[in-house]
């Protein structure tokens, strides 16, 4: 079988509130090779953290996840996304209130969109009112260096993200 590197190594994007906590959980996931925190979905180029945190740029705090498709599936990452934040919160995430902290699955291809819709449907069938947005990925603007792998450098755990098993 002739595998193209682009078929094996993929980049996907998740927004679930404070990007520090989101990144913390994805860094630990099997098959994840690299993560970076930044911003997606806004109305200006090269936003800074100070600009985005005002809630006026339209960007969401986002995590880029680079993973090996021979080690994990997009579906597993979607499950982790939903199991590590409150996808029912409509105004932010935990104590972080504002449009920059909304829950969003950014898809890069139709297959990802279909999988994401399936998991949203499954959650709704379980009785959850899902507030997670589903949007096509746009430009990912990487955040300043001091935000990258924040909790690993601090030796701490997230204050607004925790793991709760939802899916079998």
> Average of pLDDT values for 21-36?
96
Residue 2 has pLDDT above 70, yes or no: no
Backbone angles phi, psi at 26, to 5 degrees: -70, -30
Check residue 81 and give its pLDDT. Answer: 98
**Degrees to nearest 5, angle at CA 78 with 141 and 17:** 50
- d(CA 19, CA 54) in angstroms, rounded, equals 15
pLDDT at residue 58, as a whole number: 96
* pLDDT for residue 6: 64
pLDDT, greater one: 154 or 19: 19
What is the rounded CA–CA span in Å between residue 133 and residue 51?
22
Examine the pLDDT at 5 and tell me if it is beyond 80: no
User: Would you report the helix, strand and coil content of the chain in percent, each value rounded to 5?
Assistant: 30, 25, 45
Given 3.30.70.1280, 3.30.70.270, 2.60.40.420, 3.30.1060.10, which CATH number is that of 7-154?
3.30.1060.10
Please report, for the chain, the start and end positions of each structural domain, with discontinuous segments joined by +. 7-154
Q: Looking at residues 83-87, what average pLDDT do you find?
A: 96
Q: Catalytic residue numbers?
A: 18
Tell which phi-psi region holds residue 124, choosing left (phi > 0), alpha (psi between -120 and 50) or beta. alpha
pTM above 0.85, yes or no: yes
């Amino acid at each position: 079988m002739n595998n193209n590197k682009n078929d094996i190594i993929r980049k996907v994007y998740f927004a679930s509130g404070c990007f520090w906590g989101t990144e913390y959980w994805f860094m630990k996931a099997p098959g994840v090779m690299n993560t970076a925190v930044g911003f997606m979905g806004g109305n200006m180029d090269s936003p800074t953290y100070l600009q985005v945190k005002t809630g006026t740029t339209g960007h969401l705090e986002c995590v880029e996840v680079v993973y090996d498709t021979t080690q994990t599936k997009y579906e597993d990452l979607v499950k982790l996304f939903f199991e590590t934040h409150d996808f029912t919160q409509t105004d932010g995430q935990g104590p972080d209130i504002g449009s920059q902290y909304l829950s969003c699955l950014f898809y890069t291809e139709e297959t990802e969109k279909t999988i994401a819709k399936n998991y949203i449907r499954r959650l709704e069938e379980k009785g959850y009112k899902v507030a997670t947005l589903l949007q096509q990925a746009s430009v990912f603007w990487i955040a300043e260096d001091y935000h990258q792998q924040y909790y690993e450098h601090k030796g701490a755990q997230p204050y607004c993200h925790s793991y709760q098993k939802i899916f079998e």
